[in-house]
């Protein structure tokens, strides 16, 4: 493929005490794409995000963000370059308000506190959290906490957003809302997004391109309509259901 990728991963490896969490994974992603990262539980999806975002160091391989080698950079350095991620286990600052949680993200890029607050309020509106701005984050519902997680990541003004299961546990109408928000961000701001998601309906309608991991290895990639018919993909999911 001959294009300048926003993200390029070359032969990435990470093992934990003999468990090959990510094994020889390579891929490249165009700017403006939405990529779905799927695979059964324990396939290595979150580890893959941890490697890309700098919170885990690879045993082997390289990660290039906008063709800059970020393999050995720290998470905050990668964030400053324009990559933001959410965590599978949501982790807001529980004692702070929803607004203050988002302001903290905004301050990563905007040093003026008034402008950071204005940016944070705009993002809260976008994620339908404006009414919860002054509420302590601890008392938000699960769907609200999931949206707060996305809001905090967006506040850092990323060009690439990594979302780890932000739709898990949501009702179908809440999933639809999240899909709509992500589609708007992608279309209006040109934001590139990688979504790890078990909610297949959402990942299939959002993604231009899907990557499938199983036991740490990339077993398939391509357009959603191709992936859903791929025998290797069907087998790894059916195998999981049968287990
Ligand atoms: N910090 C760690 N220490 C030891 N083993 C780990 C660590 N992180 C991940 N693993 C192991 O690596 C493998 C991949 O885990 P990972 O969390 O990346 O999978 P996943 O695809 O995100 O799964 P899920 O869909 O359940 O979130 C698993 O076997 C897991 O137990
Ligand atoms: Mg995971």
Q: Give me 16's structure tokens.
A: 């934990």
Tell me what pLDDT residue 199 has. 92
Q: Are residues 181 and 110 in the same domain?
A: no
Domain final position from 157, 175, 196 = 157
User: How many angstroms does the Cα of residue 232 sit away from the middle of ligand 2?
Assistant: 20
Q: State pLDDT tens for residues 82-111.
A: 999 999 888 889 999 999 999 999 999 899
Average pLDDT value for residue range 38-65:
97
3-state secondary structure the chain: CCCCCCEEEEEEEEEECCEEEEEEEEEEECCCCEEEEECCCCCCHHHHHHHHHCCCCCCEEEEEECCEECCCCCHHHHHHCCEEECCCCCCCCCCCEHHHHHHHHHCCCCCCHHHHHHHHHHHHHHCCCHHHCCCEHHHCCHHHHHHHHHHHHHCCCCCEEEEECCCCCCCHHHHHHHHHHHHHHHHHHCCEEEEECCCHHHHHHHCCEEEEEECCEEEEEECHHHHCCCHHHHHHHHHHHHC
Q: Atom 16 in ligand 1: which residue has the minimum CA distance?
A: 44
End-to-end C-alpha distance for the chain, whole angstroms: 37
Q: State pLDDT tens for residues 5-32.
A: 999 999 999 999 999 999 999 999 999 9
Q: Are residues 76 and 169 in the same domain?
A: yes
Domain final position from 112, 127, 157 = 157
When the pLDDT of each residue in the chain is averaged and rounded to a whole number, the result is: 94
Closest ligand 1 atom, residue 39 Cα: 21
Q: Are residues 166 and 58 in the same domain?
A: yes
pLDDT over 90 percentage in the chain: 89
Distance in angstroms (rounded) separating the CA atoms of residues 126 and 120: 10
pLDDT at 242 over 60: no
User: How many angstroms does the Cα of residue 31 sit away from the middle of ligand 2?
Assistant: 24
Tell me what pLDDT residue 240 has. 58
Is 123 within the bounds of a domain?
yes
Is 2 within the bounds of a domain?
no
User: How many angstroms does the Cα of residue 17 sit away from the middle of ligand 1?
Assistant: 12
pLDDT over 70 percentage in the chain: 97
Average pLDDT value for residue range 193-198:
96
User: How many angstroms does the Cα of residue 115 sit away from the middle of ligand 2?
Assistant: 34
Q: Which ligand is closest in space to the CA of residue 38?
A: 1
Tell me what pLDDT residue 4 has. 81
Answer for the pair 63, 52: CB distance below 8 angstroms, yes or no. Answer: yes
Tell me what pLDDT residue 133 has. 98
Largest CA distance in the chain: 55
Q: Are residues 101 and 47 in the same domain?
A: no
Q: Are residues 135 and 175 in the same domain?
A: no
Q: Are residues 152 and 98 in the same domain?
A: yes
If one residue of 14, 16, 219 were mutated to test the ligand 1 pocket, choosing by the most ligand atoms within 8 A of its CB, it would be 16
Closest ligand 1 atom, residue 49 Cα: 18
Closest ligand 1 atom, residue 22 Cα: 14
pLDDT at 243 over 80: no
Tell me what pLDDT residue 91 has. 83
Average pLDDT value for residue range 26-43:
96
Is 1 within the bounds of a domain?
no
Average pLDDT value for residue range 210-229:
96
Is 88 within the bounds of a domain?
no
pLDDT at 1 over 70: no
Q: Atom 28 in ligand 1: which residue has the minimum CA distance?
A: 42
User: How many angstroms does the Cα of residue 21 sit away from the middle of ligand 1?
Assistant: 6
User: How many angstroms does the Cα of residue 121 sit away from the middle of ligand 1?
Assistant: 35
Q: State pLDDT tens for residues 147-186.
A: 999 999 999 999 999 999 999 999 999 999 999 999 999 9
**Total count of domains within the chain:** 2
| CATH, residue 219 | 3.40.50.300
Task: Please give all residues whose beta carbon lies within 6 A of any atom in ligand 1, as ranges.
Answer: 16, 19, 21, 39, 41-47, 88
Tell me what pLDDT residue 236 has. 87
Q: Which ligand is closest in space to the CA of residue 16?
A: 1
Range of the domain at 109: 94-157
Residues whose CB falls within 8 Å of the CB of residue 188, separated by 6 or more in sequence, listed in order: none
Q: Atom 1 in ligand 1: which residue has the minimum CA distance?
A: 16
Q: Are residues 73 and 118 in the same domain?
A: no
Average pLDDT value for residue range 105-118:
94
3-state secondary structure 105-159: HHCCCCCCHHHHHHHHHHHHHHCCCHHHCCCEHHHCCHHHHHHHHHHHHHCCCCC
């Amino acid at each position: 493929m001959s294009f300048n990728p926003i993200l390029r991963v070359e032969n990435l490896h990470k093992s934990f005490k003999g468990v090959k969490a990510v094994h020889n994974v390579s891929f490249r992603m165009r700017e403006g794409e939405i990529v779905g990262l799927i695979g059964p539980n324990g396939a290595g999806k979150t580890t893959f995000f941890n490697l890309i975002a700098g919170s885990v160091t690879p045993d082997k391989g390289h990660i290039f963000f906008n063709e800059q080698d970020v393999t050995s950079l720290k998470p905050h350095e990668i964030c400053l370059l324009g990559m933001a991620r959410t965590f599978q286990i949501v982790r807001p600052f529980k004692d702070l308000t929803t607004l203050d949680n988002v302001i903290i993200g905004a301050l990563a890029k905007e040093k003026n506190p008034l402008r950071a607050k204005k940016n944070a309020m705009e993002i809260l509106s976008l994620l339908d959290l404006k009414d919860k701005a002054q509420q302590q984050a601890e008392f938000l519902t699960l769907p609200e906490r999931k949206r707060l997680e996305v809001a905090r990541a967006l506040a850092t003004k990323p060009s690439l957003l990594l979302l780890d299961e932000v739709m898990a546990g949501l009702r179908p109408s809440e999933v639809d809302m999240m899909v709509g928000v992500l589609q708007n961000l992608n279309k209006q701001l040109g934001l590139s997004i990688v979504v790890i998601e078990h909610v297949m309906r959402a990942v299939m309608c959002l993604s231009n391109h899907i990557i499938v991991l199983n036991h740490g290895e990339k077993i398939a990639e391509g357009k959603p309509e191709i992936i859903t018919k791929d025998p290797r993909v069907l087998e790894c999911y059916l195998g999981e259901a049968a287990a």
